[in-house]
Amino acid sequence: MRLALLLREVSERPSNGRLEARNVSENTRLIIADDHPLFRGALREAVSGLFENIEVAEAGLFGEVATLLEQNGDFDLILLDLAMPGVRGVAGLVYLRAEYPSVPIIVVSANDDPTVIRRCMEFGASGFIPKTTTIDIMRSAIASVLEGGVWTPPDIDLGAGQDDQDSKLLNRLASLTPQQMRVLMMLSEGMLNKQIAYELHVSEATVKAHVSAILQKLGVESRTQAVIAASKIELGQWPQLAARER
């Protein structure tokens, strides 16, 4: 099991394995967003070995990521899993990039399909780290992004499997505002307008306006078609369940 190997690598890392600290005046602040507590712990130990001064916040739900950023958006990096409660696929990445464009994001995912990686980078990720990556490479990738670089697995061809039709749909999805993206994420969970309104603290009329805008931007006619269209871009990571019509 990869998680067990990751934990073993962290525990066996010598105490002098810390990389040279970068020259910063304040603590480096990171968010680790993953619904697996053990993997979050392993990542925490991994990044703790990077710099002398580092502060790590953890989130097991996508909503917790948004809350952390709303309360204090002054973070240097987000390590984001693609599949966690409250979000699936690149929807969370799109939302965070639109809402917090100054905070770099590294996607850390068990899915290392070249098309997934390419789409994450097209949606604004600063890096993509497969969960099968070794601790040393993870640390190197994170350090590179924190220093302003971009990192993807060097042994994966990101030009494979490109699809013009999906690229057009991807561009439509990227045109959604952060709030519209949040509504689409909730639609994918089969939530009703009144439930979405309650969660977002807005009126049902506002939700209906968002849904209408989403349908127009995606070029579809119903909520169901919107969810299915999004699921195609997400490579099946969103459940293709029929959202209930209203």
How do the domains of the chain map onto residue ranges? 2-146, 164-233
| Tokens standing for residue 65 | 């990521």
Q: How far is CA 237 from CA 89, 111, 116, in A?
A: 5, 10, 10
Q: What is the CA radius of gyration of the chain?
A: 19
- pLDDT for residue 11 is more than 50: no
Inter-residue contact 55 to 24 (CB < 8 Å): no
| Tokens standing for residue 138 | 């993870």
Tell me what the pLDDT averaged over the chain comes to.
78
Q: How many CB atoms lie within 10 A of CB 8?
A: 12
CA quadruple 106, 109, 111, 115: dihedral, nearest 10: -10
- pLDDT for residue 167 is more than 80: no
What pLDDT score does 85 carry?
80
Burial class (CB in 10 A: 0-12, 13-18, 19+), 168: exposed
Q: What is the residue-wise DSSP string for 185-245?
A: HHHTTT--HHHHHHHHT--HHHHHHHHHHHHHHHT-SSHHHHHHHHHHHTTT-S--PPPPP
Region 157-170 average pLDDT: 65
In terms of pLDDT, which residue wins out, 83 or 231? 83
pLDDT tens across 175-195, in order?
A: 888 888 889 888 887 889 999
* Tokens 């990556």, located at residue: 133
Compute the distance between CA of residue 183 and CA of residue 212 in angstroms, rounded to an integer: 11
pLDDT tens across 186-235, in order?
A: 888 788 999 999 988 899 999 999 999 999 998 889 988 888 877 765 54
Asked if the 2-146 domain carries CATH number 3.40.50.2300, the reply is: yes
The residues pairing with 234 across neighbouring beta strands, listed in sequence order, are none
Q: What is the pTM of this model?
A: 0.69
- Region of poorest pLDDT, from 83-87, 104-108, 144-148, 162-166: 162-166
Residue 238: pLDDT band (50, 70, 90) is very low
Burial class (CB in 10 A: 0-12, 13-18, 19+), 122: middle
Asked if the 164-233 domain carries CATH number 2.40.50.70, the reply is: no
